[in-house]
Structure 1
Amino acid sequence: MKAGPWSGLWSDSITPAKPVLGCRECFLLVLLKLGSSLLRWTFTHVLLDVLPRVTCPNHPDSILVEDYRAGDMICSECGLVVGDRVIDVGSEWRTFSNDKATKDPSRVGDTQNPLLSDGDLSTMIGKGTGAASFDEFGNSKYQNRRTMSSSDRAMMNAFKEITNMADRINLPRNIVDRTNNLFKQVYEQKSLKGRSNDAIASACLYIACRQEGVPRTFKEICAVSRISKKEIGRCFKLILKALETSVDLITTGDFMSRFCSNLGLPKQVQMAATHIARKAVELDLVPGRSPISVAAAAIYMASQASAEKRTQKEIGDIAGVADVTIRQSYRLIYPRAPDLFPADFKFDTPVDKLPQL
């Protein structure tokens, strides 16, 4: 083989060595090293000077020693205490689930749940060492298993499902707490035997929303649960009967603000829709119609009279009602449209030009 410039790097009988870096690669490598050096110098000489730092007034460059027992920072040169009552946020003990020690040195446990029978004070079964502690695949059978009663375990699962449903529709914590209390009362009475806990939890969430003045529709609850509207409605009636409680009647005003906000309608249209729905109920124009369908029809009429027009489908998607339902309620209030709008409403479309459907 003829000798060449690469004869020292490659051979037919040996593994090729790494190729020599070219000028461009060397230049990029130098830039990377310079960049890292610049960042290190900036952090050392600029950022550390800006950040507040505890130092000894007599020996600023001395190393401070931390006394963990007393919680003091002491100068190693003169012994001056430059910081006291330092809180150690670290763990007091290092504990592991597979530790062979029989005692747990931790002095505090998890938060208690007052809704559970034992306050969630359960026992954790650690990982065993004998053959009976493992299955045929070598996995631990009892690791981290809690000795919790079946009723508490069922309620814990229901509480988790309630929290998940509330999070999906952005409900506050007080709604979750009220729902948990309702579920606990129903579960302990055993008055809804045969009904699934998920259905009971969904119905309790619906009741809690009504009682707290932030009602949600059955369809909204169905959308975040795995239960049908019919089953939630049945559990809703059974729970009210079992607990001997009641909920306030739903009005059109309960949904108007939320629906208009989700549709991006201005305040003037919202106030007009609220006025239209209230007058329609007072004049008994919509007998037998649900407040949700009346609110949707009022929003459609107010938006069509303004510059911010919305279609029946857009309103139906937000309100959870069908287009035909909106049209049926709208036809009932349309003949009295001039009497329904507030006196100070600014029309973009005159009343006589509104859709007749």
Structure 2
Amino acid sequence: MEVDDVKVCPECGSHHLVKDYERGELTCYDCGMVIEDSIIDQGPEWRSFDSDQDEKRSRTGSPSSFMSHDKGLATEISWSNKDYYGKRIPHKNRAQIYRVRKWHQRIRVSNAAERNLSMALQILNEDGTKLGIPKDIKETAALIYRKAVERNLIRGRSIESIVCASIYAACRMVNIPRTLDEISKVSYVNKKKIGKAYRHLAKELALNIKPATPYSYVSQFCNKLDLDKKVIIDSENIIRLASESGISMGKGPTGVAAAAIYIAAIKNGKSRTQKDVARVSGVTEVTIRNRYKEISRMLGFDQNE
């Protein structure tokens, strides 16, 4: 039974109508008049007893995604060479299926703008996968890129640089930042171009991105250096003390984070070389030494340890 308050009973004018899906009737609750005797059940014709059955038996498509140029709303032909029932397609039919699949891929992209968008999103997905960022961040980056296309911010710039800038901005927005060096290595785009494209996007799209802090990089750098949680906690405490003392003011967050990790690792008997820390943080050994000396001097750490 389901109450329907939209229609009106033609007999008594009541809005209190009841849908009975077992009988297929729409009746008036007040006077009992049968208004319709063949209503359509909009629900599924199958039953499910758990979430797995509900997911398997549902025939709806996948949710829309910004990672696809058509937002995933178009039909796709799988590359698995299996039919609907999971049986393998015979070899004699595979050439035909391949041609159908190839032409289907071509007609999904109707013009140059869609072709460029499709190529850019493919690059974005590949770079995001190499960086190990989750799907939701890639979706955010794709949305930023789409907004840049709509505002005609791509003109005069390479697609790759705008894609990288979108990824960098998305990571900053969710406070899981990746350094320009990391993005540059996986994309083979000069980090100065990425930085310039990022500043352009941030200004034109009015992206509300807070400045990166050293805390944002600690877990990432420690994981790459194979350091445990105790080093992470000590590094964050060192950063907090440095911030309260004003040492980190005006300094690059990656350099401060790298120096804090270097000190915390020494204190916990798990020292790493400045070269190793510099490699994962993307800053120079000179920068680490300078930040290390400043923090050690101000906070009373023994620089000879």
TM-score category, normalised to shorter length: 0.5 to 0.7
- How many residues in Structure 1 have an aligned counterpart in Structure 2? 222
| Aligned with residue 173 of structure 1, among 119, 126, 135 | 135
Q: TM-score, normalised by structure 1?
A: 0.57
3-state SS in 2 of match to 1:301: helix
1:291 aligns with 2:240: no
Counterpart code for 1:304: I
Distance apart, 1:174 and its partner CA: 0.2
User: Residues 151 and 280 (structure 1 numbering): CA distance in 2 closer, same or farther, change over 3 Å?
Assistant: same
- Runs of 4+, deviation exceeding 6 Å: 108-112, 117-120
1:155 aligns with 2:129: no
Structure 2 partner of 1:336: 298
Using CA pairs below 8 Å that are at least 6 residues apart, which structure has the higher relative contact order? Answer: 2
Counterpart code for 2:244: E
1:164 aligns with 2:126: yes
User: Residues 185 and 300 (structure 1 numbering): CA distance in 2 closer, same or farther, change over 3 Å?
Assistant: same
3-state SS in 2 of match to 1:256: helix
Contact 1:165/1:225 (8 A) holds in 2: yes
Work out the CA distance in 2 between the residues paired with 1:265 and 1:113.
Answer: 36
Counterpart code for 1:336: M
3-state SS in 2 of match to 1:224: helix
Work out the CA distance in 1 between the residues paired with 2:193 and 2:225.
Answer: 30
- The C-alpha deviation readout for 1:138-185, integer Å capped at 9, x for no partner, is xx9xx7232512111111111100000011011110011111111011
Structure 2 partner of 1:92: none
1:240 aligns with 2:202: yes
Distance apart, 1:287 and its partner CA: 3.3
Structure 2 partner of 1:249: 211
Work out the CA distance in 2 between the residues paired with 1:109 and 1:264.
Answer: 41
Contact 2:62/2:72 (8 A) holds in 1: no
1:355 aligns with 2:304: yes
Percent pairwise identity: 30
Return 5+ residue gaps in structure 2 as ranges. 1-55, 78-98
Work out the CA distance in 1 between the residues paired with 2:71 and 2:260.
Answer: 51
Structure 1 partner of 2:146: 184
What is the aligned-residue RMSD (CA, Å)?
Answer: 2.9
Structure 2 partner of 1:136: none
3-state SS in 1 of match to 2:232: helix
3-state SS in 1 of match to 2:187: coil
Going by fraction, where is helix more abundant, 1 or 2?
2
User: Residues 185 and 337 (structure 1 numbering): CA distance in 2 closer, same or farther, change over 3 Å?
Assistant: same
Distance apart, 1:286 and its partner CA: 3.2
Distance apart, 1:337 and its partner CA: 2.9
- The C-alpha deviation readout for 1:39-82, integer Å capped at 9, x for no partner, is xxxxxxxxxxxxxxxxxxxxxxxxxxxxxxxxxxxxxxxxxxxx
Work out the CA distance in 1 between the residues paired with 2:137 and 2:157.
Answer: 22
Counterpart code for 1:257: S
Q: TM-score, normalised by structure 2?
A: 0.66
Distance apart, 1:334 and its partner CA: 1.5
